[in-house]
Structures are given as structure tokens and as C-alpha cells.
Amino acid sequence: MKNVVWKTAAKGMPFNEGFFKDNTEYCGIPYSNVLAYNQHVFLDVSIETFVTAVHNPRSVLYTENVSKTNSKSSLGRKYNGVGSACYYGSTCSYLVTYALGLPFGILASEFPYWDEVEVVDIQNSRGVKLADILSSGYHVSLITDIKRHADGTISTITITENANMTTSSTEFTPAQFDEYLSTGYTIVRYKNIENNLEYTPYTDFVAVEGEVLGCYAFNEDVCPNYGNRSNYVEGDTVVINITKDYSKKGYRYLNVYKDNNLLFCREISSIDICLEGLPYGDYKVCLTDGHNRTSEYSFFKVVNMSVSLSRNDQQSIVYFASENAKPLYYDFCEDNGQKGPRGVKGILSHLLTSTEISDGMAVLTPPLIPTESAPFIKVHFETEYGRTAKTARIFE
């Protein structure tokens, strides 16, 4: 995450304390609590979707501000973000979740109660290993590098976190690390780390040691406002952003394909074309001169999802289905979209079993049961482009 390099294409891309500078290069993923909107980079949103949205000066990264106190929306939405601003982003806990290869996000407040971590015996710099987690109950970070002297003693320890503007790393001496630890952190270790070491390279966008950075070819002519290879939900308005120079390049029409078949051809009358009421399916778009010349394609998906709940005195059952996405897990959320219920000590998400997925239903068991403080159940679905979610209200 920390090594992802991107360059802003316009003014107005927000972060918690202002706006990223125009035409400026940054590293890392923006800090933004997007839990309510399911827009975590790497987990919900692919790195390609994020970087292409950054490259598009009229994407949601520039038109939307999900902060509750400074909400703006070209889509007519009202946001209730807490600790958020940028439409795509990550938080401290979702950085650790992604780095450990976990199937769903675990909040900083959940880590102390997660039975898959254990407290390290030696609570100082002498007891650390790579991928150890520093947990305070309200913030988590990850140990991503340990350097040693020739005699084997530790010279520096690097901690990586998402806490400020973007993902950052800090190098500590052992003494500095111990002082930092004394401010309220506990070293914990993911028990299953040895079995979770699969690595996926993303060399088009980021290169780590031993890799060569690729050269991603951006589509300079046409892009969905969510970014390339993005998920929309049935009922969403899909905005296709077109280059201002389309007429100079000889383009006159937008071709929209669904499942590789031409759905319609629309004459370009605006550089932002709104597509409404699209049925679920796989889409691609390109510009054309009306003859044989076309631009490169951009891609998106419209996702179909349904979620409902059945309740009686004995049990509650959630039902879920999709024609083009796989159900993955569920949790509960409050009115503002944040995970709940508050005050429950434990992991507040349930990874669906293969049987539950096959049956399209799951019986809710404590502590994941309906409460009035978290009146919505949210089922998360996955496609080849990332994740999205559907909610159903439990209590009126």
C-alpha cells in the first residue's frame, strides 16, 4: 500500500484536513473511513479502479466528499462519514486486514477480542517479528521491516500505518520503539500467518523489492466516474466521463456494450453522459467516429443483489442472492452505515460458509444478532472487480 504512486489530475480531491494538491504525486492510499460506503482500496476497490479514478479529473474522487461536516456530491447523495473525506481510501485496521490476507475487515476495536491473534510474550523490541500487530483498542499498525546488526541484534523496526493523509512508514530504533509501545500498545501476532503468505503482484501500479514497475496505459478518452473495472449497483446512475478533446480526435458517438453485445450507440452531446436504469451485467464503452475508428475500451459491471430477513421468536434468518456476484460475509450497521452493534466484544462479521452460500441463507447466531442500535444487516458480495454490499433494515 505504502508504495503505490499516483498523481492528482485536478483540484478538489479531499482528505480529512483539506485537499490534495493538484498535479502532485503522492504515495500510499488516502486515509478515509469509508466503512459505510464499502470503498476500501484493495479490499472493496481494486488498485486499478483507484488509480484510474485518480487519473480522471471528473471521477468521484473529485466530485464527492464523504465527510459529514463537508459533504459535497454531484450525484445528489448525502454522506454521514466519520473520519472520512475521500471517496476511496483505507484506515488503520483495513491496512492490517489487507496485509494479513484476511477475508473481511476487522476494526481496531475488534482486534483485542479476535481469537486468531495471540499476545506476544516479550512486550518490547526484543520480542517482535515481521507482520506483528501493534494494537491499542482504537488504533492498529503493522511491523513491516526489521533490520539487524551484524551480530544479529535489532538496529531498526519499521511500523506501517494508515493514520494521517496517506499510508506511511516510520523507522524506530529499539529504544524509540519501546517508548512508542509504552503509550498504550500491545504486540499481538496473527496465529495463521505462516499459512497466509500468498503474494499477488500489482506491478502495473506498484513494485516492491525485486520487481520492475510496469507501464499502465491509461484510457485518455473515456472512463466511468467510479474508475475502470468498477462495480455499480442496479439503480445507480453510471456517469461516463469523456475527454474534452473528443471532437478534435474525430469522435462523435459513445458505444455501450453489454455482455460483449452492442447495447446502443449514443451521439455525444456532453462530456459527462449519464446512463440510467442499466440492467445487471458486464459492460464496456468506447468512443467512435461512426465508421471504423474507435477509442480503447473502459469496463464496468452493474451488480444485482437482494437481501431480506425473516424473524420469529426462535431465530432470525438472512436470505441473500445475486445473479452476477458471490456472497462473501455479513455484518450489521448503524443508521450512519458504521459497523455495529456498539459495546459488543467480539468479531462483528460472519464469513459465509459454502453451505450457506449454496443455500442462499444463514441463521444468525450471537453475538451477530439483530439489535435496535444496529438496525441494518449488510451482506457483502464479490465480483472480479471488487466488492459491494446490500443492506436490509431489521428494525423500523
Summarize pLDDT for 82-101 with one digit per residue, the tens: 778 899 999 999 999 999 98
Q: For residue 274, what are the CA distances in angstroms to 238, 241, 256, 294? A: 6, 9, 12, 20
Please tell me which residue, 35 or 301, carries the higher pLDDT value. Answer: 301
3-class secondary-structure state, position 52: helix
Measured CA to CA, the distance from residue 49 to residue 250 in angstroms comes to 27
Evaluate if residue 343 carries a pLDDT over 70.
no
Please tell me which residue, 62 or 201, carries the higher pLDDT value. Answer: 62
Q: List Cβ<8 Å contacts ≥24 apart for 168-171.
A: 168/2, 168/28, 169/2, 169/144, 169/145, 171/145
Evaluate if residue 218 carries a pLDDT over 70.
yes
Give the residue-averaged pLDDT of 40-64. 95
DSSP secondary structure letter of residue 99: H
* CB contact at 8 A, 233 and 308: no
The pLDDT of residue 386 is 96
Nearest alpha carbon to residue 77 among 337, 322, 332, 303:
337
The pLDDT of residue 281 is 98
Residues of each domain in the chain carrying CATH 2.60.40.1220: 222-303
Evaluate if residue 278 carries a pLDDT over 70.
yes
Measured CA to CA, the distance from residue 256 to residue 238 in angstroms comes to 12
Evaluate if residue 370 carries a pLDDT over 70.
no
Task: Give the pLDDT confidence of 225-236 residue by residue, as tens digits.
Answer: 999 999 999 999
- CA angle at 245 for the pair 24 and 22, rounded to the nearest 5°: 15
Task: Count CB-CB contacts under 10 A for residue 325.
Answer: 25
Please tell me which residue, 137 or 335, carries the higher pLDDT value. Answer: 137
Confidence of residue 72 (pLDDT cuts 50, 70, 90): low
The pLDDT of residue 270 is 95
With a pLDDT cut of 90, the percent of the chain lying above it is 66
Place of cell 491496512: 95
- How many CA atoms are closer than 13 Å to the CA of 141, on its beta-carbon side? 22
Evaluate if residue 206 carries a pLDDT over 90.
no
Can you list the alpha helix ranges (DSSP code H) found in the chain?
A: 47-55, 60-63, 92-99, 174-181, 354-359
Measured CA to CA, the distance from residue 85 to residue 20 in angstroms comes to 11
Task: Give the pLDDT confidence of 239-277 residue by residue, as tens digits.
Answer: 999 999 999 999 999 999 999 999 999 999 999 999 999
Q: List Cβ<8 Å contacts ≥24 apart for 233-238.
A: 233/302, 233/303, 233/305, 233/388, 233/390, 234/278, 234/279, 234/280, 234/302, 234/303, 234/304, 234/305, 236/302, 237/75, 237/274, 237/275, 237/276, 238/274, 238/275, 238/276, 238/278, 238/283, 238/300, 238/302
What's this model's pTM, rounded to 2 decimal places?
A: 0.93
Length of the chain: 396
* CB contact at 8 A, 144 and 92: no
Q: What CATH class has 306-393?
A: mainly beta
Pick from 6-10, 113-117, 372-376 the range whose average pLDDT is largest: 6-10
Nearest alpha carbon to residue 228 among 31, 77, 47:
47
Please tell me which residue, 149 or 70, carries the higher pLDDT value. Answer: 149
The pLDDT of residue 75 is 77
Task: Give the pLDDT confidence of 381-396 residue by residue, as tens digits.
Answer: 999 999 999 999 876 5
Task: Give the pLDDT confidence of 97-124 residue by residue, as tens digits.
Answer: 999 988 898 888 888 888 889 999 999 9
With a pLDDT cut of 70, the percent of the chain lying above it is 95
- Domain 222-303 sits in CATH at 2.60.40.1220
* Torsions phi, psi for 218 (to 5 deg): -70, 145
Per-chain mean pLDDT for the chain:
90
Measured CA to CA, the distance from residue 295 to residue 287 in angstroms comes to 5
The pLDDT of residue 395 is 66
The pLDDT of residue 68 is 65
Give the residue-averaged pLDDT of 363-372. 76
Q: For residue 18, what are the CA distances in angstroms to 90, 165, 276, 334, 338? A: 17, 10, 32, 27, 23
